[in-house]
Amino acid sequence: MPKFNNNEVNKKDKKKKKKSIGFKIFIGFLCVLLALAVVGGGYFVGLLNKMDTVDIDKDNLGIVEDEIKEYTTADKITNIALFGVDATDGEAGRSDAIMIATLDPIHNKLKLTSIMRDSYVYIDGYGQDKINHAYAYGGPELSIKTINENFGLNIQDFVTVNFSSLPKIINILGGVDIEITNEELEYINSYIDDINNKDGTNSAHIYSSGVQHLDGTQALAYSRIRYTSGGDYERTQRQRTVLDALFNKLTSTSVSSYNSLLNEVLPYVQTNLNAADILSLGTKVLSIGNNLEQDRFPRDGYGEGAMINGVYYLTFDLETAKQQMRDYIFNDIKQ
Please give the tally of structural domains in the chain: 1
- Comparing 130 with 260, the larger pLDDT belongs to 130
Cα 67 to Cα 57, 93, 152, 292, 323, distances in angstroms: 20, 31, 7, 27, 11
Position 295 in a domain: yes
pTM for the full predicted model? 0.73
Position 209 in a domain: yes
What is the pLDDT, as a whole number, of residue 6? 45
Q: What is the pLDDT of residues 83-136, one digit of tens each?
A: 887 655 555 667 778 889 999 999 998 898 989 989 999 999 999 999 999 999
Q: What percent of the chain has pLDDT over 90?
A: 42
As beta bridge partners, residue 294 has 112
Position 1 in a domain: no
Position 190 in a domain: yes
Position 170 in a domain: yes
C-alpha–C-alpha distance, residues 168 and 260, integer Å: 10
Q: Which domain holds residue 177?
A: 6-330
- Comparing 204 with 268, the larger pLDDT belongs to 204
CATH number of the domain where residue 306 is located: 3.40.630.190
Position 87 in a domain: yes
Position 250 in a domain: yes
- Comparing 121 with 239, the larger pLDDT belongs to 121
C-alpha–C-alpha distance, residues 199 and 142, integer Å: 31
Position 335 in a domain: no
Q: What is the pLDDT of residues 325-335, one digit of tens each?
A: 999 999 999 87
Confidence of residue 151 (pLDDT cuts 50, 70, 90): very high
With b for 16 or more beta-carbon neighbours within 10 A and e for fewer, the 109-137 pattern comes to bbbbbbbbbbbbbebeeeeebbbbbbbbb
Confidence of residue 77 (pLDDT cuts 50, 70, 90): very high
